[in-house]
Amino acid sequence: MVIKVNRLSKSFEYYKKELGLRNSIRNLFYREKLIKEAVREISFEIEEGEMVGFLGPNGAGKTTTLKMLSGILHPTSGQAQVLGFTPWERKKAFKMQFAIVMGQKNQLWWDLPANESLYLNKCIYELDDRQYQETLGELTELLDVKDLLNVQVRRLSLGERMKMELIAALIHRPRLIFLDEPTIGLDILSQMKIREFFRYYNLEKKATVVLTSHYMQDIEGLCKRVIIINEGQLVYDGDLHRVNDAFAHTKLIKLQLAVPVRVDELEAFGRVKSHDAFTVTLEVPRAEVKERSKAILDHLPVSDFNIEDIPVEEGIAQLYRRREVNHALA
């Protein structure tokens, strides 16, 4: 077991300011304190070598959870064991074995070439020269940035910089990697390159990876399992492709018609999700797929016919909208 989280919670104090100067002035003297429960009693476990997608809408508590698991923040309550350590005790032996990469934060020295920062990390993680050269060679090769090591970081493009950030984070060959939106703002090719790199890295090094991303391709390309949280609460933990099972009591029937049919006629066979002249998507209850299909084939001028599951994105979006789904799952 690499990660074991038990009823972890974190709340923050903050204050509100209403619109306008008058309220700004009022705020100088009096600030109403409010409590935001960023993470509420979440529990889960992650095994060695797993690659888990950690999903949720903006502000759901993903980053806060990752910060607690990496020891940056103390939780308000609850326990966590990461690599056998309590992360917020910040033991050196713990720090030597993991890495966290935040797509929106950089750790490289802005004014110096990347290899200076990488060398600093070599010293920080107390690597010997051979180890360092080996890992550096391998990572720069994989990410295709060998020629850029001597360029000042501020002169690199966003994609190049992200690759350097990844090298800096992985130079000590961590067993556990937290990736917080590593592909944010990158073009499609860079995203693919980085995905490919992590797929390889996870397979080759047996490293455990926890990944948050808003790009579905990142998640579908890399993670078998996803953990979804919303408003600080865990709403789903399981196979990515079974996200829909919980509430997908429906299936989609896609039709190609030989002759256009009026919508109100189509509605007799199921909920019309989309339609133009010749293509129609109908949503029908899972239990009635058979009868409905038969009826459709018998009564409509069908030239092509397909039964599909609701796409994963849609299931996830539903989870983002609804909070109490976990009860339905239980």
Partner 1 sequence: MPWLKKYLKAFELGFETALEYRFNFMISLISAAYPIIIQSFLWSAIYAASAGSSVYGYTFRQMIAYTFMAGLVARLVRTGFEYEIMDDVKNGKFSKFLVQPMGYFPYRLASFLGQKVPGQGMILGLLGLVLVGLNVFWGMQIEPLRVLAFLVTLVLATVLNFLLFYCFSAISFWIIEVGFLFEGIRIVTVLLSGGIFPLEVFGDRFARAAGLLPFKYTVNYPINVLNGKLTGSEALQGMLLQMIWIGVILLAANLLWRVGGRRYVAVGG
Q: Which is nearer to partner 1, 66 or 261 (CB)?
A: 66
Is residue 43 within 8 Å of 234, Cβ to Cβ?
yes
Q: Does 65 bind partner 1 (CB under 8 A)?
A: no
Tell me whether residue 210 or residue 284 sits nearer to partner 1 (CB atom): 210
215 touches partner 1 (CB under 8 A): no
Residue 71 binds partner 1 (CB under 8 A): yes
Kindly tell me which residue out of 100, 136, 171, 227 binds partner 1, with binding defined by CB under 8 A: 100
What sign does the dihedral 88-100-5-39 (CA atoms) show?
A: positive
Residue from 50, 116, 245, 314 binding partner 1 (CB under 8 A): 116
Can residue 244 be called a binding residue for partner 1 (CB under 8 A)? Answer: no
Is residue 130 a contact residue for partner 1 (CB under 8 A)?
Answer: no
Q: Measured from the CB atom, is 131 or 326 closer to partner 1?
A: 131
Q: Which residue has the tokens 């939780």?
A: 75
Question: Contact at 8 Å (CB) between 2 and 175?
Answer: yes
Give the C-alpha separation, 211 to 226, whole Å. Answer: 9
Q: Which stretch binds partner 1 (CB under 8 A): 41-49, 124-132, 225-233, 249-257?
A: 124-132
Compute the distance between CA of residue 155 and CA of residue 160 in angstroms, rounded to an integer: 10
Q: Smallest gap, in angstroms, from Cβ of residue 9 to partner 1? A: 15
Give the nearer residue to partner 1 in terms of CB position, either 10 or 193.
10
Residue 318 CB burial class (10 angstroms; 0-12, 13-18, ≥19): middle
H helices present in 107-251, as ranges: 114-124, 129-143, 158-170, 188-205, 216-222
Number of residues that bind partner 1 (CB under 8 A): 33
Query: Does the protein bind partner 1 through residue 171 (CB under 8 A)?
Result: no
281 is an interface residue for partner 1 by CB under 8 A: no
> φ and ψ at 225, to 5 degrees?
-110, 145
CA 200 from centroid of its chain's CA atoms: 18
* 86 counts as binding partner 1 under rule CB under 8 A: no
In angstroms, the Cα distances linking 58 to 20, 70, 212, 254, 262 are 26, 20, 11, 33, 40
Told to check if 103 binds partner 1 by CB under 8 A, we report yes
Q: Which of 124, 203, 268, 307 binds partner 1 (CB under 8 A)?
A: 124
β-pair partners for 281: 254, 274
Binds partner 1 (CB under 8 A): choice among 123, 189, 263, 277? 123
Site for partner 1 in 7-46 (CB under 8 A): 12
CA-CA distance, 101 to 121, in Å (whole number)? 14
The residues binding partner 1 (CB under 8 A) are 12, 63, 67, 70-74, 90, 92, 95-96, 98-100, 102-105, 107, 109, 111-112, 116, 119-121, 123-126, 180-181
